[in-house]
Amino acid sequence: MARIIRFHEHGGPEVLRIEEADVPPPGAGQVQIRVKALGLNRAEVMLRTNNYIETPKAWPSGLGYEAAGVVAAVGPGVDSVAVGDAVSVVPAVSQIEWPAYAELANFQQHLVVKHPASLSWEEAAATWMQYVTAHGALIDLARLGKGDVVAITAASSSVGLAAIQIANMVGATPIAVTRTSAKRQALRDAGAAHVVASEEEDLEARLTEIAGPGGGLSGGVRPGVQVVFDPIGGPAFASLTAAMARGGILIEYGALSPEPTPFPLFNVLGKSLTLRGYLVHEVTADPVRLEAAKDFILEGLTSGALKPIIARSFAFDDIVEAHRYLESNQQFGKIVVTL
């Protein structure tokens, strides 16, 4: 028996329950982990409130994408890790099928990684969702490189901070876009070259001031923002695309805005922009893309160029309070739960 976190109906944080359950031994190609820390994600809130891309097939349902801990057992055919190894977990395609919120949990072998020993359990649990998401968008899709300018919205989220670090790692210029000035200095300290407070400043004007007007080519240089990395959508689309460079790409990986998202037709046509919907699962489900992401991230973690930022840590018994804090949007970085 092991303690696991489940919910029996959709609702607020209070629907989460800690229950005792039998955990089956790992099957073929599976790894069982004695969990030391969990990383929390917005996707778990969306699943709990019935606003996610998947929904429970039966009640009760587990949840959770990220964990770090010690290998407790391995199933037939597993040769990449051994009992006693310190490991962390790349998010699976389905958090319902492979829930991480538990003291003991099974995961697919190809998603279990022996992380650098320099990482704490909390940092290891906070690693893979944020860095794989940002790498897949910025490096794999956008081919972000030296001299490029990238606007990163929701910049104080764990994925936003990961994107800032990755941009700096490849020599790009990260512009952090946040709602107010409250986190301006923290974002600068985290590596943002510039910070724009979208509720206090004219977003288009500030991006244009920083990156140059995006109307055309000038001396072989593409003025304007080459890449936008956005999980929000909503009315800001118009301002973001207006500040983009000709031939730029906007990668949308979320839908946090409750307002409609207009299609900026004339900006897209006039600048030959690409608008690309993106989910991290397209990387985790592709062995080639996933291995490239792992290599890049492990290199960054080892060198220190990538360093997870922990906003706050909660005990396993305080999972309801942890979810309440997650929904408050007060955090700067990743929320983790320890066991």
> What is the model's pLDDT at position 222?
59
Q: Cis (ω within 30 of 0) for the bond into 24?
A: no
pLDDT(219) > 80: no
Q: What is the pLDDT of residues 301-313, one digit of tens each?
A: 999 999 999 999 9
Q: What is the pLDDT of residues 114-132, one digit of tens each?
A: 999 999 999 999 999 999 9
If one counts every other C-beta atom within 10 angstroms of the C-beta of residue 28, the result is 9
Q: What is the pLDDT of residues 41-89, one digit of tens each?
A: 999 999 999 999 899 999 999 999 999 999 999 999 999 999 999 999 9
Q: What is the pTM of this model?
A: 0.93
Q: What is the pLDDT of residues 186-196, one digit of tens each?
A: 999 999 999 99
Residue 223: pLDDT band with limits 50, 70, 90: confident
> What is the model's pLDDT at position 28?
98
Domains of the chain, start order:
2-127+309-338 (3.90.180.10), 130-281 (3.90.180.10)
Q: How far apart are CA 199 and CA 182, in angstroms?
A: 11
> What is the model's pLDDT at position 213?
79
Strand pairing report for 173-178 and 149-153: parallel
